[in-house]
Amino acid sequence: MKRRKFLGGAAAGAAAVASLASSFPKPALADTQPEVKWRLASSFPKSLDTIFGGADVISKRVAAATDNKFQIRTFAAGELVPGLQVLDAVQNGTVECGHTASYYYVGKDPTFAFDTAVPFGLNARQQNAWMYYGGGLELMREFLSAYNIIQFPAGNTGAQMGGWFRKEINTIDDLKGLKFRIGGFAGKVMAKLGVITQQIAGGDIYPALEKGTIDAAEWVGPYDDEKLGFYKVAKYYYYPGWWEGGPQVSLYVNMAQWQSLSPTYQAVLEGAAAEANVKMVAKYDEQNMPALRRLVEAGTILRPFSRAIMEASYRAAFELYDETAVANAKFKKVYDAWRVFREEQYLWFRVAENSFDNFVYAKSAKKS
């Protein structure tokens, strides 16, 4: 009898709590914010779940945070616009936003490269520091305003690999005449070393390598490269990708569309981009080593670039920066600030990070 009374009382209490909860007003967001539907054009194929997945992280977070009132549909490269035309699509308002790598557009202006990566530049943590606190975001937004775009850091791959080659590359002479798929400002550096460079969207690289249209190709790293199947048509896998120490992927938003959003929706979108920025590099870090093991087991031959190639590439890169700064005032403005920040970061990372990393990595190598 007492048990029945207790259960009855508990049920009544639960009903009272539920009734009280239902009487509370809903969050203002649910009632006062308009319905917004956007389209996002990605530069990446859906098969690359980590780099394309950054756009999905953004769209899902925006929807969840707004009770589905702000929805962003994501489209892979080629579904709405080609992968290398995302900038134009956002600038012209064909789509409201895009997820891309800014260095794809260095043909328009080499200054775009700083929003992704430049050779011998910043690692992923340093890129974030520069963007969020070192003045990079302000500089790049000032630059991109001329293209009717506001951008947000929305992903990073971490340091990339140097690419897949049909033959061994031991000396600078081995690079001369090589047809190499390579993106961004790095292509201009490689050209100074005698390489014939081409920029090809991710989904089109494999057939070009398979058919011999190109002799070598770089993309991201083991996890993506395995998915794209490069190891089936080129067996030499070089590292490091000295042109991409911490390449950032950006969310481009059409300026008029951004300004049309309420402050609440703007805050949600900015937070979603920051979430994608963190999660992308974390997933790559977790997935790359298992993928690299599988690639080596499948016959991939892992090779470091020689010291001679690294030194020559470094010299060529900074010669190019100086030449470009003389000819392009926009580039010079960003480069001068970036270079000072880079040197400060290098000094700091040499103190604690590098000392720690070198010690523990050496210990780990002895055990393996």
> What is the rounded average pLDDT of the residues 299-311?
97
> Is 333 within a domain?
no
Query: pLDDT tens-digit profile of 210-246?
Result: 999 999 999 999 999 999 999 999 999 999 999 999 9
Task: Report yes or no: 109 and 328 within 8 Å, Cβ to Cβ.
Answer: yes
Residue 80 included in any domain: yes
Residue 256 confidence (pLDDT) above 50: yes
Q: Could you tell me the CATH number of the domain that includes residue 50? A: 3.40.190.170
Mean of pLDDT over the chain: 92
Read off the pLDDT of each residue in 279-295 and give the average, rounded to a whole number: 98
Residue showing tokens 């080129």: 234
pLDDT of 85-101, one tens digit each?
Answer: 999 999 999 999 999 99
Provide φ and ψ at 217, rounded to 5°. -155, 145
What pLDDT, on the 0 to 100 scale, is given for residue 8? 47
Domain annotation covers residue 184 = no
Residue 284, phi then psi, degrees to nearest 5: -60, -45
Residue 18 reports pLDDT greater than 60 = no
Q: What is the pTM of this model?
A: 0.90
**pLDDT in the model for residue 199:** 86
Cβ atoms of 306 and 239 closer than 8 Å: no
Q: Does the residue 152 lie in any domain? A: yes
Give yes or no for residue 136 having a pLDDT over 80. yes
Chain centroid to CA 270: 16
Task: Indicate if the pLDDT at residue 294 is higher than 80.
Answer: yes
User: Does residue 156 register a pLDDT over 60?
Assistant: yes
Work out the pLDDT band at 31, boundaries 50, 70, 90. Answer: low
- Return d(Cα 35, Cα 128) in angstroms, integer: 32
In a domain, 114, yes or no: yes
Q: Which pLDDT score is estimated for 368?
A: 66
For residue 103, which of 346, 349, 337, 334 has the smallest C-alpha distance? 334
CA gap 113, 118 in Å, rounded: 6
According to DSSP, the β-strands at 216-217 and 179-181 are: parallel
> Is residue 100 situated within a structural domain?
yes
Which residues constitute the domain of residue 58?
34-157+246-285
The yes-or-no verdict on residue 324 having pLDDT over 60 is yes
Res. 183: pLDDT tops 90:
no
Instruction: Count up the domains in the chain and report the number.
Output: 1
Tens of pLDDT, residue by residue over 53-78, are 999 999 999 999 999 999 999 999 99
Residue 229 resides in a domain: no
Query: Phi and psi for 99 in degrees, rounded to 5?
Result: -125, 115
pLDDT value of position 200: 87
Is residue 137 situated within a structural domain?
yes
**Contacts of residue 45, Cβ cutoff 8 Å, sequence gap at least 6:** 52, 76, 77, 78, 83, 202, 203
Each residue's pLDDT tens digit, 191-208? 999 999 998 888 889 999
